[in-house]
Amino acid sequence: KPGTVKAIKITAANLFAPSGALKDDVLVEHMNPDTPCPIGNPTNLASLVKRHSQKLWPSDPTDLDIGFDESFILDSFFRGEVTVGTSNSFIFATDDQLSKLADTRIWYVDETFKVVKEPIKLLLGFHGFLKSGKNMKQVPLVLAFKSSEGY
């Protein structure tokens, strides 16, 4: 169908862009208001874009010898790696987040196992309650990816 090849080419050029946005680009380019949707169902086109882009992504790491290409993340966001025995932790926070964490009086730690893949076992989030005027919000201030479930 028209648009499918274009969608695949756009996906390869914009590997990490959201599939919905790429689908919209293809729809706008190939849309003709006088014809009944010749390029197919927009949901199917978005699925095609996502499926194709996943084939081009780098594979997930299988061990902890990951190494970070810091050119893809904010300057000084990756704070370092902490190793205790066989457990590794990768710490992420901006200078501003650390400053706010130091100033906050109320904070908590949240852990989740559902959003991480092997070899990472746990995502810890250090959240602080920040107040502005009469409003108070909880804000994630430090993230730690851990290779084991212990502290």
Instruction: Say what the pLDDT of residue 149 is.
Output: 72
Instruction: Say what the pLDDT of residue 16 is.
Output: 63
Residue 62 lies in a domain: no
Residue 85 lies in a domain: yes
Asked whether residue 40 falls in the same domain as residue 77, the answer is no
Residue 151 lies in a domain: no
Instruction: Say what the pLDDT of residue 105 is.
Output: 87
Residue 64 lies in a domain: no
Q: Quote the domain boundaries for residue 12.
A: 4-56
Asked whether residue 39 falls in the same domain as residue 74, the answer is no
Asked whether residue 81 falls in the same domain as residue 137, the answer is yes
Per-residue pLDDT of the chain (151 residues; tens, 9 = 90+): 445 666 666 666 665 666 666 656 665 565 555 665 555 566 666 777 777 777 777 777 777 776 666 677 777 898 988 888 888 889 999 999 999 999 998 899 998 887 887 888 889 999 999 988 999 999 999 999 998 876 5
Q: Return d(Cα 19, Cα 25) in angstroms, integer.
A: 10
Domain count, the chain: 2
Chain centroid offset of residue 46 CA:
19
Residue 63 lies in a domain: no
Q: Return d(Cα 81, Cα 77) in angstroms, integer.
A: 12
Angle in degrees, 0-180, between the axes of helices 19-30 and 42-56, rounded to the nearest 10? 130
Asked whether residue 48 falls in the same domain as residue 76, the answer is no
Asked whether residue 128 falls in the same domain as residue 79, the answer is yes
Residue 61 lies in a domain: no
Asked whether residue 136 falls in the same domain as residue 106, the answer is yes
Instruction: Say what the pLDDT of residue 142 is.
Output: 96
| pTM (predicted TM-score) | 0.60
